[in-house]
Homo-oligomer: A and B are copies of this chain.
Amino acid sequence: MRPVIVTGVTRAELAAVDQLAGLGAATVHEAIGRSGYLGPRLRPIQDGARIGGTAVTALCWPGDNLMIHAAAEQCQAGDVLVVTTTSPCADGMFGELLATSLAARGVRGLVIEAGVRDVAELRAMGFAVWSAAVSAQGTVKETAGAVNVPVSVGGQIVRPGDAIIADDDGVVCVPRGGVGPALAAARARAAKEEQNRKALADGQLGLDLYGLRDKLIARGVEWVTAEEYARGEADG
């Protein structure tokens, strides 16, 4: 890892990111071909928050939050700070003071593949956080890492300037260049879902709505009565 702080990062267009955020993480993830989801380990510390923003990335040493401080200077209004560590770490690397600093710069939230602390205070101040842990364990500020380099979080690659969409379902990353197409696809999907919602509420089955009945038959699935099934089990 080159110990570097990259400045002057080009961001995804914020207006489009905001519109993506309105559609929610799951819909956006579907719209970009079921990709970009940062995994179920990243959970919100609050209920009901839904944010969008542009990624500033920080790569830290475990138990050391020095580079979060360095990343704060690179953050601007509309950003989401995305933090990971060189090896797995659950320490409370981020708390109320860092949140105060980021909020003063217009940062919209934090996504961290490690722990946070001061969660009562973070909730009270309305600073949105998705983290892999909550932990009172403090960190040192001793070891160099990197800011605004591509990072790997939850099996996905996040590049600085990418769009980050986060809500109760987790966090999705949309590559900077893909925000426009993602928005078009997500809107189309949302419209289609609205239509399906009505049909399903009226009692139609997904089996029919999505043409799955033939698929089941093609894959050899049979419908048998409970009685027939029990007889089959008994016969082995």
Contact = CB atoms under 8 A, between A and B. Distances in A.
A152 B143 contact: no
Contacts of A25: 136
Contacts of A48: 120
A74 to B, nearest CB: 9
Contacts of A224: 4-7
A87 B87 contact: no
Contacts of A19: none
B202 A104 contact: yes
Contacts of A157: 150, 152, 157
Contact of A206 (B72, B92, B160, B233): B72
A135 B87 contact: yes
A91 to B, nearest CB: 5
A52 interface: no
A53 interface: no
Contact of A104 (B201, B222, B232): B201
A96 B219 CA distance: 27
Given A100-B200, A143-B219, A169-B134, A148 B226 contact: yes
Contacts of A100: 197, 200-201
Interface string A133-155: 11111101111100011101101
Taken together, the copies of this chain in the complex come to 6
Contacts of A156: 152
Interface of A: 1-10, 24-26, 29-30, 32-35, 37, 39-40, 43, 47-48, 50, 61-64, 66, 69-70, 72-73, 84, 86-92, 95-98, 100-101, 103-105, 115, 117-120, 133-138, 140-144, 148-150, 152-153, 155-157, 160, 167-172, 175-181, 193, 196-197, 200-207, 210, 212, 215-216, 219-227, 229, 232-236
Given A5-B221, A66-B215, 11 more contacts: A26-B136, A47-B120, A64-B143, A72-B205, A86-B137, A104-B200, A104-B202, A104-B203, A134-B168, A176-B236, A180-B236
13 contacts: A2-B232, A4-B222, A6-B226, A7-B223, A7-B226, A24-B120, A26-B92, A61-B140, A69-B210, A70-B207, A87-B89, A88-B88, A177-B236
